[in-house]
Amino acid sequence: MSNPEVRQPVPPFTLESAIAKVRGAEDGWNSRDAKKVSMAYTVDSAWRNRAEFVTGRDQIVEFLTRKWNKELDYRLIKELWAYEGNRIAVRYAYEWHDDSGHWYRSYGNENWEFNEHGLMQRRFACINDMPIKESDRKFHWPLGRRPDDHPSLSDLGL
């Protein structure tokens, strides 16, 4: 039986395993299942997300629950930027609307550090929100996992 505290792939990362790790993170966040997503992080994982500091799985669940209650119809695309050893840098964009129907595209970069079991122990995120018209949306798929044939950030010119 596999150890539930190991999250493949594990470092040191190759190009292929780093891409797989990024896609796994994207898929998890697009599930909008805060408890499931929290299991990809160490029990004492430390985050900086914008101006908010989050520590540990319980706070991750609280943070993500609050986030997805505010950011409705959330759809995310992540793209590998760089990797080395146990670290990965990604760029990403996600689209969402608030409860008043105002749409946004949020752009960001994240730096990730993993332990030897493939669990993320540190996450640093910088994010900017840009108001958009609903007609300017580029992320069109049913809620959940982005289909494999949907364009990437680079394909979309983002």
pLDDT of res. 4: 65
Considering the domain boundaries, does residue 27 fall inside one? yes
Considering the domain boundaries, does residue 145 fall inside one? no
d(CA 20, CA 17): 5
Query: Would residue 12 be called left, alpha or beta, if left means φ above 0 and alpha means ψ between -120 and 50 degrees?
Result: beta
Q: Using DSSP, how many helices (H) and how many strands (E) does the chain show?
A: 3, 6
Q: Is the pLDDT of residue 53 over 90?
A: yes
Domain count, the chain: 1
Task: Summarize the confidence of residues 15-37 as an average pLDDT.
Answer: 98
pLDDT of res. 2: 53
Q: What secondary structure does DSSP assign to 14-43, as a single string?
A: PHHHHHHHHHHHHHHHHHT-HHHHHTTEEE
Task: Summarize the confidence of residues 110-133 as an average pLDDT.
Answer: 98
- Give the mean pLDDT of the chain: 96
Query: Position of tokens 């792939």?
Result: 9
pLDDT of res. 5: 87
Tell me the CA distances in angstroms from 123 to 60, 87, 117, 137, 140, one per residue in order.
11, 10, 16, 27, 27
Q: Is the pLDDT of residue 126 over 60?
A: yes
Considering the domain boundaries, does residue 152 fall inside one? no
Considering the domain boundaries, does residue 155 fall inside one? no
Angle, CA 146 vertex, CA 140 and CA 150 arms, to 5°? 65
Considering the domain boundaries, does residue 146 fall inside one? no
1 pLDDT tier (thresholds 50, 70, 90): very low
Task: Summarize the confidence of residues 119-124 as an average pLDDT.
Answer: 98
Considering the domain boundaries, does residue 2 fall inside one? no
Q: Which domain holds residue 36?
A: 15-136
Considering the domain boundaries, does residue 62 fall inside one? yes
Q: Is the pLDDT of residue 14 over 90?
A: yes
pLDDT of res. 76: 98
Q: Is the pLDDT of residue 37 over 60?
A: yes
Considering the domain boundaries, does residue 46 fall inside one? yes
Query: Position of tokens 């079991």?
Result: 117
pLDDT in tens, 58-114: 999 999 999 999 999 999 999 999 999 999 999 999 999 999 999 999 999 999 999
CATH number at residue 69: 3.10.450.50
